[in-house]
Amino acid sequence: MTAYLQVDGLDHRFGGLRALQECSFTIEQGRITCLVGPNGAGKTTIFNVITGFLKPDQGSVAFRGRSLDGLRPQSIVHAGIARTFQNLRLFTDLTALDNVLVGISGQFGEEPLGAILRPMHTARAQARRRMEAMQTLEHVGLADRARDLVRNLSYGEQKLLTVARVLATGAELLLLDEPASGLSAGALDAIMSLLRRLQNEGKTLLVVEHNTRVVQQIADDVLFLHQGHLMAQGTPERIISDPALAEIYFGGAL
């Protein structure tokens, strides 16, 4: 049986730094997998490779048995994988609703000629997309902020909005880069229950997370990355109780 997402022998160097070394793992469909490891372990680099923003020196990635090697980021989104960024990268001068709308694929009127020659059709198609985007915002609990500019949203709301934007793409595998970092307790609960809800709706999640409490609560499976290499894979209980991994994670290591 082919794996849902298969990462095979990735190698990547940034100058003298070997960010990924023969990194291999698989992810199962419908599960929440947490990617953990100390700073500089290569977690974000893995995300960049899977989503096509970085070409690895070696190795390959396959999704549902289909190779993603050499595909551009937008093609990988259409293949069904979308990501968020650690530093959010929202469009701060646009409204929350417009941020979600940018993510919706296949809209009529994204080509200027279509918009000029068929204005009525464009307007009707827009109205439908707007409804879809509103539903996505409702889903993450931001419906009442739809008309607000992103820069006026709180940090917690902005994090929820990044999730809404990847949901809008229709992707089934979501790569979330530290969705829970820097959040207050209330916002943390909101995002954790959202992630659970997405899993129940059939999404598969790969999540970079530092907070061990969050990992314990949401992860079905944990990948422990160290110096660009997969050191261990298992249930959160097993990974967290392993003294060798704790030593690497909390200090002393290198």
Partner 1 sequence: MDFLFSYIVLAEIYVLLGLSTNLLVGIAGIFSVSQAAVFGVGAYLVAHFMMAADPLSFIPSMLIAAACCVALNILVTLPSLRVSGDYFVVTSFGIQLLATAVFTNWAQGTGGANGLPGIPPPDLFGWPVETTGRYVLLCTLFAGLGCLAFWLIMRAPFGRLVRAIREDETAVAAAGKNVLRAKVSAAALAGAFAGTAGGLYATFLSFIDPSSFDLDASILLLTMVVVGGARTLAGSVIGPFLLLALPQLLTLVDIPTTIAAAARQLIYGLLLIVFMLFRPQGLAGERL
The token duo for 124 is 């009707």
Nearer to partner 1, 162 or 204 (CB): 162
CB 74 within 8 Å of CB 102 = no
Nearer to partner 1, 3 or 115 (CB): 115
CB of 8 to partner 1, least distance (A): 23
Nearer to partner 1, 112 or 186 (CB): 112
CB of 43 to partner 1, least distance (A): 17
CB of 245 to partner 1, least distance (A): 31
Nearer to partner 1, 64 or 118 (CB): 118
CB of 121 to partner 1, least distance (A): 10
Positions touching partner 1 (CB under 8 A) are: 51, 53, 72-74, 77-78, 82-83, 85, 89-94, 98-99, 101-103, 105, 107-112, 114-116, 119, 122-123, 126, 129, 165, 168-169, 171
Q: What does DSSP assign to residue 71?
A: -
